[in-house]
Structure 1
């Protein structure tokens, strides 16, 4: 009898060990899928970062040589109507849109800055062609001069009385927040004042000796992240920042987490609305205690697996963090 019990216990332990090994392998496969998605996103981001860094160095050389360049700057190739250049989208693909905001402290110096930086247009055009995820590349200066490529309908979109230095795509690159003076990812999505919807940005400061002269930036949209990366892979994925805000995600994943009702029942439509508040779509604000526990487990305790116990439609979730930016990719697994 004792021998039978011993054999039964041994078989149970072997079976338990096999199940645990299978579960571990399954988790490894799930994390490998997340890792592949993250690597694809970061690879494209790294390419944009390296090219933007190159343009920043070119820009700083222009600033260093500003005195000699402005002695013989060539023609002012833009026609201005108050704050805005008059060229329209599609008219001339070699031109950016120029905005000299009413908040500039010196209109004459701002116009000289346009002359100084005209060669950025060709650099912007090459960058835009090489980076299909980019929706726009731009410079915003301390003198309130904006150069944005490709050209867009500035007059009907931009408020000429804004102070561009008060936006995060400018001040996040300043000396206080970015003392290394290098590239900065803005991890929080924001509404683009140029009308591109919800935007994610990579920025780079340009200095004139010890003064911040301008900030270069490149934008890509939340919708493009969903369309190109998350929709391309089967599964329910969420991209969140370190605060728990949902940066991007598939509609089914968001609905499963007890988030607010979606406009038009589609997340990609919701994020096109001007009144969309990203803070409403935060894991820590979910009506579900288990979803809030999941956020705690992933974002604060840095765990990779969470098992749901009382959430009827969800079985488990896995999570991995990005290397270059403070984001997390989460995959949800339904309970069926």
Structure 2
């Protein structure tokens, strides 16, 4: 009898426990659909930028088909070199790029011929940048270790002339092994520009001379302003994070609700552009909130799409939708009103 009474107590406690356990609040499908549409709009804009770079790539490859005639009757070369670096300085002539013939070049003479062959790219790069306000720089890095970057920058004081450009992801992500279709490639790792332009995303395109990879064409875009334009016009509290948990963009209230450091002038863009900005400070996995860190694990590692907050007084729930073309995630935060 005592045994049966014990079972009754256990069952009663079990019912009580189940009855009090939190259940996930149902999220209307239209919430997810709104986020998918927002992501689709952003990715469509990215596809338009990609098409424009594709046009530059086709022109570049056309130049290579005319290599013999161009080198036979070359235009005056506006570049002079001191060692690896062209001597023109930033702001000196806005029509010129910065050129480097890196020390690992297998053939300096052929590299110098390549400079002459591709000088016509300067005007094409300039036109591309002027018509794409988010473009920070346009560049070509070649198998012959020739680097051409428009607009010109202080290359001599920034770049080590002994680097092998083919060992960097903005080159090898476009090679045949990583890109067998030979098409456009978004580099998955965005980075924060040291010159204060915010988050940068790179798009590259291989340039083939016959079956040989001649160079990789690329453009760096500022994405913070672009993304925040979309987020600012949408009701709701959104953040956009990469696969590491770094906040790429977001609304100020959403970021501050997630127990992140104070924002400069209540604007994340200004915070990113400030001198003392550290990416690690604005990473979901480094939030002061245990639940926010748990949310990050659920969304980014376990690929869940819905999280309920139980401990945070100001937070109710969050939902997440991944991007299709790049490893980013759009998260909507629902505060407790």
Corresponding position of 2:63 = 62
Q: What does residue 184 of structure 1 align with?
A: 185
- Post-superposition offset of 1:24: 5.4
Aligned equivalent of 1:312: 313
Contact 1:181 1:205 in 2 (8 A): yes
Give the C-alpha shift of residue 319 in structure 1.
2.0
CA positional deviation for 1:307: 2.2
Distance in 2 separating the partners of 1:252 and 1:179 = 43
Aligned equivalents of 2:312 and 2:194: distance in 1? 39
2: CA distance, partners of 1:262 / 1:131 = 32
Question: What SS does the corresponding residue of 1:188 show, helix, strand or coil?
Answer: coil
CA contact (8 A) 1:157 1:193 kept: no
Alignment of 1:1-336 (within 5 A): 25=28, 28=30, 30-191=31-192, 198-225=199-226, 227-233=228-234, 235-259=236-260, 261=261, 267-268=268-269, 271-272=272-273, 278=279, 281-336=282-337
1:287-308 deviations in whole A, cap 9, x for unaligned?
A: 4342233234333454443221
Distance (Å, rounded) in 2 between the aligned partners of 1:60 and 1:239: 36
Q: Work out the CA distance in 2 between the residues paired with 1:101 and 1:275.
A: 32
Distance 2:257 2:305 in 1: 19
Aligned counterparts of 1:228 and 1:288: Cα–Cα separation in 2 = 28
CA distance in 1, matches of 2:294, 2:320: 13
Q: Deviations over 1:220-262 (max 9, x none)?
A: 1254345534445454322122343333334443333344x46
Alpha-carbon distance, 1:143 to partner: 2.0
Higher deviation after alignment, 65-74 or 312-321: 65-74
- The runs of 5 or more residues in structure 1 that have no matched partner are 1-21
Given that residues 239 and 255 in structure 2 are in contact (C-alpha distance below 8 angstroms), is that contact kept between their aligned partners in structure 1? yes
Distance between the aligned counterparts of 2:215 and 2:276, measured in 1? Answer: 30
Taking a change above 3 Å as real, the CA distance of residues 113 and 276 of structure 1, as seen in their structure-2 partners, is farther
Summarize the Cα distance change of 1:32–1:208 in structure 2 as closer, same or farther, 3 Å threshold. Answer: same
The alpha carbon displacement at 1:114 in A equals 0.9
Query: Please, which moves more after superposition, 261-270 or 136-145?
Result: 261-270
CA distance in 1, matches of 2:276, 2:164: 22
The answer to whether the 8 Å contact 1:76/1:115 transfers is yes
Quickly say closer, same or farther: Cα 1:136–1:71, change in 2 above 3 A: same
RMSD: 3.1
Do 2:42 and 2:227's aligned partners in 1 also have CA atoms closer than 8 Å?
no
